[in-house]
């Protein structure tokens, strides 16, 4: 038997017999998370319902309009709501390639839906995040309030809707409710 034929055949046979590689890689955990480390592990987990405290500047320029506030959130506060998907095993090279090509995530607020800016792929995790300032600016433009003065006196309740789509039409959703308030 030709050894150049035998060795690759043996490798493919062993991979096919490995139940860990051949079975579907299912999601074992979905976690709301605003920050990830370099290995794509969550370092800032969030609850489904919570408060986000926004620091004020001395000039209070961020209070002039929703557009200014949104820019402040984007460039200075860098509030980045997101989520982390954890899978039961490490991704194969084929799965990693497929995820890079086909994975997409969206964030929605009051009928405004945007593709999420951030995407990180770990060994067995996928992280997605988006800048809250960008989403809020678009939502306020949509409602015609972008130039209006910001009033967070009683807080601002936001319901963020996350959607993701994995290869082979696997889909999922998460929801997070936040109350934006000025930091005391």
Tens of pLDDT, residue by residue over 150-178, are: 988 888 999 999 999 999 889 999 999 99
Token pair belonging to 181: 């308030």
Mean pLDDT throughout 15-29? 71
CB 119 within 8 A of CB 103: yes
Report the chain's mean pLDDT, rounded to a whole number: 90
pLDDT of residue 21: 56
pLDDT over threshold 90, residue 63: yes
pLDDT over threshold 60, residue 14: no
Q: Residue for token digits 């060795």?
A: 7
Give the span between the Cα atoms of 106 and 117, in whole angstroms: 9
pLDDT of residue 96: 98
Token pair belonging to 137: 């600016």
Give the span between the Cα atoms of 163 and 184, in whole angstroms: 33
């Amino acid at each position: 038997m030709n050894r150049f034929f035998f060795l690759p055949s043996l490798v493919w046979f062993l991979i096919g017999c490995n139940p860990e590689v051949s079975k579907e890689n299912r999601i074992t955990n979905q976690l709301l998370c605003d920050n990830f480390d370099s290995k794509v592990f969550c370092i800032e987990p969030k609850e489904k319902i919570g408060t986000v405290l926004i620091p004020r500047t001395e000039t209070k320029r961020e209070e002039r309009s929703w557009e200014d506030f949104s820019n402040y959130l984007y460039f200075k506060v860098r509030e980045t709501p997101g989520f982390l998907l954890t899978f039961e095993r490490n991704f194969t090279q084929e799965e990693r390639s497929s995820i890079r090509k086909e994975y997409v995530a969206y964030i929605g607020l009051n009928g405004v839906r945007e593709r999420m800016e951030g995407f990180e792929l770990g060994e067995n995790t996928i992280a997605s995040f988006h800048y809250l300032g960008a989403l809020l600016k678009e939502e306020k433009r949509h409602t015609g309030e972008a130039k209006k003065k910001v009033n967070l006196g009683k807080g601002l309740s936001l319901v963020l809707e996350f959607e993701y789509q994995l290869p082979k039409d696997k889909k999922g959703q998460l929801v997070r409710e936040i109350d934006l308030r000025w930091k005391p």
